[in-house]
Structure 1
Amino acid sequence: MEKNTTKHIKFRELAESRTNKAIDAIARIGNLSNRQVYDFDEAEVRKVIKALRDAVSSVEARFDAPKSRAERSFKL
């Protein structure tokens, strides 16, 4: 039981730290919306948003089925 408690504490520490870093990084991406500083088109914005949504979907899938790892390489 001690080992599970230690694992849970470690999970909470890392989850809080990594989630806060991700939130900060997303906020910095949001700063790119300032048209006085940056020039971009809607297609570029859609690509950024899609990449973020895809990353979140991938994380959700890993928690739904943690035993199955997402393929990271191409195979025939």
Structure 2
Amino acid sequence: MRDKRKKFIQLAEARVSRAMNDLRLIGNLSNRSAYTYADDDVRKIFRALQKELDSAKSKFGGESGSRETEFRLGD
């Protein structure tokens, strides 16, 4: 039982740290001097992220959520 806990902590710390870093990188896309984007693009990005976050969160509550495997802004 203790090994499962250690493994959970190890994986959770690594994965959450990686996700947090990736979110910071997404935030860097807000630099209008380097990138051109529309407000609709921003809404799509955060809607997709929120959907995945809600899905992951529901798994801890015993609910199953839908999962999309790919995110695309383009048509």
- TM-score (ref. length: structure 2): 0.83
> How do 1:1-76 and structure 2 match up within 5 A?
4-65=1-62, 69-70=64-65
Structure 1 segments (4+ residues) deviating >6 Å: none
Shift of the alpha carbon at 1:71?
5.5
Secondary structure (helix, strand or coil) at the match of 2:29 reads: helix
2-structure distance, mates of 1:30, 1:71: 25
More helix by share: 1
- Which amino acid counterpart does residue 33 of structure 1 have in structure 2? S
Q: 1:71 to 1:42 in 2, by over 3 A?
A: closer
Q: Which residue number in structure 1 is paired with residue 70 of structure 2?
A: none
Larger Rg: 1
- Report the number of matched residues: 67
Q: CA-atom RMSD, angstroms? A: 1.3
CA contact (8 A) 2:29 2:35 kept: yes
Shift of the alpha carbon at 1:53?
0.5
For each residue in 1:3-44, what CA deviation from the matched residue of structure 2 results, as whole angstroms up to 9, or x when unmatched?
x10000000000000000000001000000000000000000
- TM-score (ref. length: structure 1): 0.82
Query: Tell me, which stretches of 5 or more residues in structure 2 are unaligned?
Result: 68-75
